[in-house]
């Protein structure tokens, strides 16, 4: 009888058998999110229609992709300082070592900007005005917001003055918490609709008028609390630091 010699699997051998790029990113992301949500619902610690998703930097990129490709899971999202158009980072990112020209389809498919027409759930975008991270320049959120607004999505863009990729000032952090709390109170906590229901674009407010963060706007729009009317789909700049001391 021929004796079989056990094959030793080295780290390099094991690595070669695994995907080394992001070709399956969307499928893996959605599958992971579905598994996590199913588990918290099974444990009884979350309501299936009141689960939000959020993240910072690459987490913001993931948040936008989940709202685009898995709208049946989450009722709203909060994305902070993300990169939404991967063609603007053409020489690789995270686990993707191929360039845009070598893997054009992957770059396009992974970009939430290219799927802006699929996002129907409320999304809050936050970005530092002076983001110095080369992969998450402020224009990423600016252009993504314009794409969302152009397709009638219920969205809000908050630009934090003088802030880089991470937020440091007391007033910036406090304002971020205020924005987050209001967004979740209106589109997650008070959500009574089926999470699978699409938002009617005709009800979105696309006013460009600047809103003072201390003011309360009246009227209808966006399907949320009247206090949030006229403010979901507008670009919003926080007050300068000097005026907040």
List, by residue number, the catalytic residues: 57, 131, 165
Q: Report which of 19, 198, 18, 34 is spatially closest to residue 119, judged by C-alpha positions.
A: 198
Task: Answer for the pair 78, 54: CB distance below 8 angstroms, yes or no.
Answer: yes
Q: How far apart are CA 184 and CA 230, in angstroms?
A: 17
Phi-psi bin for 57: left (phi > 0), alpha (psi -120 to 50), beta? left
Tokens at 35, concatenated: 């598994």
For the chain, the first-to-last Cα distance in angstroms comes to 84
- What letter would DSSP give residue 238? P
- What letter would DSSP give residue 59? H
The CA distances from residue 84 to 59, 109, 137, 201, in Å, are 11, 11, 10, 21
Q: Report which of 166, 103, 100 is spatially closest to residue 132, judged by C-alpha positions.
A: 166
Phi-psi bin for 44: left (phi > 0), alpha (psi -120 to 50), beta? left
């Amino acid at each position: 009888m021929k004796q079989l010699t056990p094959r030793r699997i080295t780290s390099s051998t094991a690595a070669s058998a695994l995907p080394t790029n992001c070709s399956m990113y969307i499928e893996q992301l959605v599958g992971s999110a579905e598994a996590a949500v199913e588990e918290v619902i099974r444990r009884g610690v979350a309501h299936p229609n009141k689960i939000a998703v959020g993240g910072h930097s690459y987490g913001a990129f993931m948040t936008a992709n989940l709202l685009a490709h898995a709208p049946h899971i989450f009722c709203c999202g909060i994305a902070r300082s993300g990169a939404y158009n991967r063609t603007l980072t053409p020489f690789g990112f995270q686990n993707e070592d191929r360039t845009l020209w070598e893997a054009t389809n992957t770059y396009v498919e992974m970009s939430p900007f290219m799927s802006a027409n699929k996002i129907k759930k409320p999304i809050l975008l936050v970005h530092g005005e002076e983001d110095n991270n080369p992969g998450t320049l402020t224009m990423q959120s600016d252009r993504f917001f314009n794409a969302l607004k152009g397709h009638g999505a219920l969205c809000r863009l908050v630009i934090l003055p003088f802030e880089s990729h991470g937020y440091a000032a007391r007033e910036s952090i406090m304002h971020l918490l205020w924005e987050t709390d209001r967004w979740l109170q209106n589109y997650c906590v008070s959500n009574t609709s089926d999470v699978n229901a699409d938002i009617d674009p005709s009800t979105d407010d696309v006013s460009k008028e600047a809103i003072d963060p201390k003011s309360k706007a009246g009227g209808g729009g966006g399907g949320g609390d009247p206090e949030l009317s006229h403010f979901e789909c507008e670009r919003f700049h926080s007050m300068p630091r000097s005026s907040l001391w």
